[in-house]
Homo-oligomer: A and B are copies of this chain.
Amino acid sequence: MELVEPTLHDQRPDIDRLRDAMDDLEFEADLSVLKTLPTVLRKNDFKVTAVVVNEALIAVEPGDTSAQNYAIGIDLGTTTVVATLLDLVTGTPMAVKSMLNKQQPFGADVISRISATMMDPLAAGLMQTAGLATLNELIAEVCAEAEVSEDQVYEIAIAGNATMVEILLGVDPEPVGVAPFITAAQKWPVFTAAEIGIEMLPSARVFLFPAFGAYVGGDIVAGVLATGMDRDKRVRLLIDVGTNCEIVLSNGDQILTTAAPAGPAFEAASIACGMRAADGAIEVVQVTDEGIKLGVIGDAVPVGICGSGLVDAVYVLHKAKLIDDSGRFVTDEDAMKIAPHLASRLLTREAGDRIFVLHWDVDEPTVYLSQRDVRELQFAKASIATGWRLLLEEVGLVDDDVQQVLLAGSFGSYLSPASAIGIGLVPKLPVMRIVSAGNVAGEGAKMVLLSSTERSGATTLLDEVDYVELSDRPDFNDKFFLELALPS
């Protein structure tokens, strides 16, 4: 805008002069803007650019800066945090960076993080600081990479689960962690970066995705938005596999959601040779005529097994009948009969513990699947399967009615659809119906930054989606035990 300069005949206050020049916009000015307004106007001969976000005047900049207009979408994961810098003028992502959440030392999953706050009164504050440090580092990185000034990033949208969001805001998350699992809020007001402690333009606006419930958080709301589940007539399941597994079912009519406590098996944390998906992790296991064939991250010597490798291993060994439907390794005797080329890998260790060796270093088995690992996976997948099966029952549908299963989250991208079907993690469907959905939380965050319709859609979703509490169901345990078996 090029404003008319004030005179004794035109003594409108600075903010009214600005307001009159853009009379199609209603806004309230931030104190930070009012503080600098007289100086900015006069230093730049009243030629300035005003930045209005949702009826808030958050910046007045020298000259014409209308071509610089950025926002950042954040997928605030318990494990990994991903930031995407968006050019709001063109709608183009300019830079993407990810980083392990610096809260990791306080626990791998939300329950251990909440427990940490209950054990140590300082932990919540330290985790908040660590979470903010993660965000601030990522914001600085994406801005540096795209050569964008942090002062021209006007909005940030954060999709995270309820615990991550509460810890970030400094809310005590204890009630989220213990029955009856209560959040402080489902929807959050729009905050300023300064209020929350995010280091960017202090008046930049922070949109936090609302949550469906204590264990189906803003990341899933963002995912539902990104996958268009609220607009699709098909029967679709969105499954975000993790320690806490979130499940959404839509049938064009209703949307149901629930959370299934899968435990740490998929993150391979409780697995004998488990490791996270990094170099040396077995991520693919296949049975061939000669024996087994491994896919190892980084084409390195195998040093462990990650979540997708675990699912593969159990699936192929069950298919080869070395693991029976109940999940038990067959006897050595039976193994020799059933699969002689694999039988030598089945060993019995001290205390009768049985393992299936995936890799030897000389004569020493270094990476293997234990009987206990199979049990862990069975518990995890049974929990998830109980979740989606109960949702299907709620709307009177069966497995085969599901037209698409979206596997969300980073783990979903690596999981083999055939193996997922094979162990019963997802309904028994043609492989083509199982789709990896990628980082849907990040996609949803981008969508709300680019469109105010999508943003109000995120809030409207709360009314459209029914949250089903599993721990509340008398039939949960019965169904869970039924799901423990591997599908024959």
Which of A's residues lie within 8 Å of B, judged by CB?
6-16, 28-29, 31, 34-39, 42, 169-175, 179-186, 188-189, 191, 195-196, 213-214, 467, 469, 471-472
Contact B15 A189, beta carbon cutoff 8 Å: no
Please judge, given known A-B contacts A37-B171, A38-B172, A180-B11, whether A28 and B185 are in contact too, CB under 8 Å. no
Contact B182 A6, beta carbon cutoff 8 Å: yes
Contact A11 B184, beta carbon cutoff 8 Å: no
Among B11, B35, B180, B185, point to the contact of A171 (Cβ < 8 A).
B35
Contact A13 B467, beta carbon cutoff 8 Å: no
Can you show 18 pairs from A to B with CB atoms below 8 A apart?
A: A6-B182, A7-B180, A9-B472, A11-B181, A11-B182, A11-B469, A12-B182, A13-B182, A13-B184, A31-B189, A31-B196, A34-B169, A34-B184, A35-B169, A35-B170, A38-B175, A39-B172, A42-B175
* Chain B residues positioned under 8 Å from A10 (CB to CB): 180
Please judge, given known A-B contacts A13-B185, A14-B184, A183-B13, whether A171 and B471 are in contact too, CB under 8 Å. no
| A273 vs B475: C-alpha distance when bound (angstroms) | 94
Report the nearest B residue to A28, measured CB to CB: B189
* Chain B residues positioned under 8 Å from A184 (CB to CB): 13-15, 34, 37-38
| A36 vs B171: C-alpha distance when bound (angstroms) | 6
* Chain B residues positioned under 8 Å from A31 (CB to CB): 169, 189, 191, 195-196
Contact A38 B7, beta carbon cutoff 8 Å: no
Contact A14 B180, beta carbon cutoff 8 Å: no
Contact B35 A180, beta carbon cutoff 8 Å: no
A69 to chain B, nearest CB (A): 24
Among B38, B39, B185, point to the contact of A16 (Cβ < 8 A).
B185
| A8 vs B15: C-alpha distance when bound (angstroms) | 51
* Chain B residues positioned under 8 Å from A169 (CB to CB): 31, 34-35
A172 to chain B, nearest CB (A): 5
| A39 vs B174: C-alpha distance when bound (angstroms) | 9
| A471 vs B186: C-alpha distance when bound (angstroms) | 57
Among B15, B175, B180, point to the contact of A185 (Cβ < 8 A).
B15
* Chain B residues positioned under 8 Å from A39 (CB to CB): 172
Among B6, B37, B180, B196, point to the contact of A6 (Cβ < 8 A).
B180
Please judge, given known A-B contacts A11-B181, A14-B185, A31-B169, whether A38 and B472 are in contact too, CB under 8 Å. no
A184 to chain B, nearest CB (A): 5
| A256 vs B395: C-alpha distance when bound (angstroms) | 70
| A22 vs B354: C-alpha distance when bound (angstroms) | 61
Contact B38 A186, beta carbon cutoff 8 Å: no
* Chain B residues positioned under 8 Å from A38 (CB to CB): 171-175, 182, 184
| A22 vs B194: C-alpha distance when bound (angstroms) | 30
Q: Could you list 18 further interchain pairs (A-B, Cβ under 8 angstroms) beyond the known A13-B185, A38-B171, A38-B172?
A: A8-B471, A8-B472, A11-B180, A11-B214, A11-B467, A13-B183, A13-B184, A14-B182, A16-B185, A16-B186, A28-B189, A31-B169, A31-B189, A34-B171, A34-B185, A36-B172, A37-B184, A38-B175
* Chain B residues positioned under 8 Å from A11 (CB to CB): 180-182, 213-214, 467, 469
Report the nearest B residue to A473, measured CB to CB: B8
* Chain B residues positioned under 8 Å from A213 (CB to CB): 11
| A37 vs B185: C-alpha distance when bound (angstroms) | 10
| A471 vs B174: C-alpha distance when bound (angstroms) | 64
A70 to chain B, nearest CB (A): 24
Report the nearest B residue to A5, measured CB to CB: B180
* Chain B residues positioned under 8 Å from A472 (CB to CB): 8-9
Report the nearest B residue to A10, measured CB to CB: B180
Output the residue of A173, A184, A469 with the most chain B CB within 10 A: A184
| A230 vs B184: C-alpha distance when bound (angstroms) | 46
| A242 vs B300: C-alpha distance when bound (angstroms) | 85
Contact A175 B8, beta carbon cutoff 8 Å: no
* Chain B residues positioned under 8 Å from A195 (CB to CB): 31
| A463 vs B39: C-alpha distance when bound (angstroms) | 27
Please judge, given known A-B contacts A6-B182, A34-B184, A189-B28, whether A175 and B469 are in contact too, CB under 8 Å. no
* Chain B residues positioned under 8 Å from A188 (CB to CB): 34
Report the nearest B residue to A210, measured CB to CB: B13
* Chain B residues positioned under 8 Å from A13 (CB to CB): 182-186
* Chain B residues positioned under 8 Å from A471 (CB to CB): 8
